[in-house]
Chain A
Amino acid sequence: MVVTKPVESSPTPVAEPRQAAAARPRNGARVLCEALVREGVDTIFGYPGGAVIPLYDVLPEYPRLNHVLVRHEQGAGHAADGFARATGRVGVCLATSGPGATNLVTPIATAMLDSIPMVAITGQVAQQFIGSDAFQEIDITGITLPITKHNFLVRHAADIGPTIQKAFHLASSGRPGPVLVDIPKDVLLAQGELAPAEPLELIGYKPTYTPHRRQIRLAAQEIRNARKPLILAGHGILLSGAMDELRTLAERAQIPVALTLLGIGGISQQHPLCLGMVGMHGFAHANRAIHEADLLIGVGMRFDDRVTGRVSKFAPNARIVHIDIDPAEIGKNVETAVPVVGDARQALAMLVADVEELRHEEWIAEIDDWRQTPPYRPLGNETVLQPQFVMERLSELTERSAVVATDVGQHQMWAAQFYKCDTPNHWITSGGLGTMGFGVPAALGAAIGRPEAEVWAIVGDGGVQMTSFEFATIVQEHANVNIAIINNGYLGMVRQWQQLFHDRNYSETFISQPDFQMLATAYGIPARTVTRREEVDDAIVWARATDGPTLINFVVDQEMNVYPMIPSGGSFGELIEKGE
């Protein structure tokens, strides 16, 4: 049998050369790409599917848009989140309709609770099928109503440009948050042009950046009157870039600064006025400072229950000045003496101008006295590796300057306590939603957003098993992520609660695991296992010196607890300083 080569004049359609693409009719998919380029997007974390094929069809025409193919849409969402936290820019993720979209729900909720600027783009079935329970149809705008800052269903190709413009504006302005844009397949295929960007008219959206002068004067007066003032600095410091203003105010008025979990990086933890983290697993001296303070100045934080414990016993002696860009946060959880609505940076700059130099030597001395008791840190022996020691070594050897993305649980709290993160936007952790599985994909996103940075994913053996499939993406992207598994064989934080509050009933918290070193090797990630103290430094040095991703499986004390701890719903008086 003779196989004939198709002749040149064959009418059989062959793949069109790419150059011809520009001549093709302009459609919604191209409008979308151009709108994304116009917003300055250079990275999209995504996963293809039926409803977004038209978009993937044109994506190669836009080399500016680097598409990172993840292994699961949840990975795309968390990676976009990590990207946003590490770069301060809007993170973009993309998924198809139906299950692709629902797989973004957890990352969107994670971004919502932590005020992360993110734009999620989802495909939708063609409009003629909407409402018919078509294949891979789901009402994702309905599903994400309570977990987005806003969401859109785009009905016409001409609306894509303005909608993307609005989405990025909403995601990144005021109190940032995730915005979802749902685009039906027929809209991606419909003819359309990108209209020139126009000033947005959002009559119902006017975030207040500049605080009211009178409120600043009242806040300044509170500071003058206080003998034991304390600043509680949150994520808003980083989001507004108020690091200098925070430090200046603290130094000028000699006010100690305590950090929320998401506020870490807002001021150097080496600064003598910085008390470190407060809250359930915050330092005893920092929580004690709240307990004794006569004035709390909350800046860009929301008095969340992990910070306050039982509200009725929180900061019993303090009047509260609350500075936040979201008026709904003020007065929501605690009674506020002076509400200040505005951008943290502007508010702090105005306070710096209003407040004269003040001294609080006695108060500082008192706190320093409490600080003499160092945080609980067991000494490891020859046979059992202590997780706190691993964190300390990591902090030391990376000179406190790595980008650290954590998962959720005990290792997260140890990292918060012992990794002395000093750099803004280097501490990436799911605070509000507490999303296990966040660490690995968030580190991936951070590494792609900050290719020059040293990135560590600090994760537990439980959480890493939730999203370890993204190891493949890390390898595919040559992303510089060092993965440190703090491996205690348990879902440790739940086990700790079971031990302390449920009579050691370790129900379903012992969790089996693969050989992590072999797992990493299977993905092509060089890996080591560390079981002894003296191996720790060597492994960290090895990981840092290795080009590309690495994994270290730190096998640690199985029943180590996180201390100090204020039990849920408890108060400072119930603080457990350390274990038996």
Chain B
Amino acid sequence: MVMRLHTLVVLVEDHPGVLNRVMSLFRQRGFNVHSVAVGHSETTGLSRMTFVIGGDDRMVEQVTKQLYKLLEVVKVTDVTAENLIQRELALVKVAATERTRADVMRLATDIYRARFVDATPDSLILEVTGPSDKIDSLLTMIRPYGIKEVARTGLVAMVRGSGSTRLTVVQDAVA
């Protein structure tokens, strides 16, 4: 079995404690979670969670089935093999003196299309979005200048075109 990263998009009912239930399940069964992103979805009362988890196909199948056993979990989609838009946002505070500031800014904007959102005499805060590997790469490149702080949102993903992680079947049933 091949171990790789899977992206799971999970639609859940927007109840208190739902994230706790999901994370408790991952912890209890030893599933390896790399990133989590949670927010409201297009449907009132439903949140969309995006998980990046490591494991082989059998493990991911177990994750999916166990997730479905949670009452509030409405739909689980493994989008790993789909044609995806994947984005993560990071805020990075990097050391930047008068001498290095121009280099940092050029590197981050030219290659990574980062934006600068704050500056002090000895630091900059940059904002960057993109697939996780792009952010990893940016961090590698600016590490020599001195990274002071990193905040990442976790990955969100959306299937291109007509593919979707929406709730079509259940919506039809309700309608």
Contacts and interface: CB of A to CB of B under 8 A. Distances in A.
B71 A202 contact: yes
Nearest to B17: A141
A67 to B, nearest CB: 29
A149 to B, nearest CB: 8
A6 interface: no
A328 B73 CA distance: 14
B66 interface: yes
B20 A142 contact: yes
A146 B25 contact: yes
B24 A328 contact: no
A145 B28 CA distance: 10
Given A203-B170, A332-B62, A146 B24 contact: yes
A328 B67 CA distance: 9
Given A202-B71, A203-B13, A204-B74, A145 B20 contact: yes
B134 interface: no
A328 B58 CA distance: 11
Contact of A328 (B13, B66, B174): B66
Contacts of A150: 71
Interface string A134-172: 000000011001100010000000000000000000100
Nearest to A179: B71
B86 to A, nearest CB: 26
Interface string B64-81: 011011111110000000
B66 to A, nearest CB: 5
A326 interface: yes
A121 to B, nearest CB: 18
A327 B24 contact: no
A548 interface: no
Interface residues of A, number: 15
A328 B132 CA distance: 31
A146 B26 CA distance: 10
A205 interface: yes
Interface string A412-425: 00000000000000
B168 to A, nearest CB: 13
B113 interface: no
A49 interface: no
A145 B21 CA distance: 7
B61 interface: yes
Most buried by A among B12, B17, B170: B17
Interface in B30-85: 58, 61-62, 65-66, 68-74
Contacts of B69: 326, 328
B11 to A, nearest CB: 9
B71 A204 contact: yes
Nearest to B74: A204
A204 B28 contact: no
Contacts of A142: 20
Given A146-B25, A332-B62, A204 B20 contact: no
A170 B58 CA distance: 28
B contacts with A: majority SS: helix
Interface residues of B, number: 22
A146 B69 CA distance: 12
Given A204-B71, A327-B65, A327-B68, A146 B58 contact: no
A258 B68 CA distance: 31
Nearest to B23: A145
B24 A170 contact: no
B58 A204 contact: no
A88 interface: no
Contacts of A567: none
A204 B62 contact: no
Given A145-B24, A146-B28, A332-B62, A204 B17 contact: no
Interface string A175-213: 000000000000000000000000000111100000000
Contacts of B58: 331
Nearest to B16: A153
A150 B174 CA distance: 23
Nearest to B73: A204
Contacts of A205: 71
Contacts of B13: 203-204
B101 to A, nearest CB: 46
A59 B17 CA distance: 31
B71 A170 contact: yes
Nearest to A150: B71
Interface in B79-137: none
A170 B71 CA distance: 9
Contacts of A327: 65, 68
A156 to B, nearest CB: 13
A207 to B, nearest CB: 10
A105 to B, nearest CB: 15
Nearest to A327: B65
A204 B174 CA distance: 12
Nearest to A177: B69
A141 B16 CA distance: 12
A204 B70 contact: yes
Interface in B116-175: 170, 174
Nearest to B58: A331
A445 B61 CA distance: 39
A203 B70 CA distance: 11
Interface of B: 12-13, 17, 20-21, 24-25, 28, 58, 61-62, 65-66, 68-74, 170, 174
Closest 6 CB pairs of A and B: A328-B65, A204-B74, A150-B71, A145-B24, A146-B28, A204-B73
Interface of A: 141-142, 145-146, 150, 170, 202-205, 326-328, 331-332
Given A204-B13, A328-B62, A331-B61, 11 more contacts: A142-B20, A145-B21, A146-B28, A203-B13, A203-B74, A204-B70, A204-B72, A326-B69, A328-B65, A328-B68, A328-B69
7 contacts: A145-B20, A203-B13, A203-B74, A203-B170, A328-B66, A331-B62, A332-B65
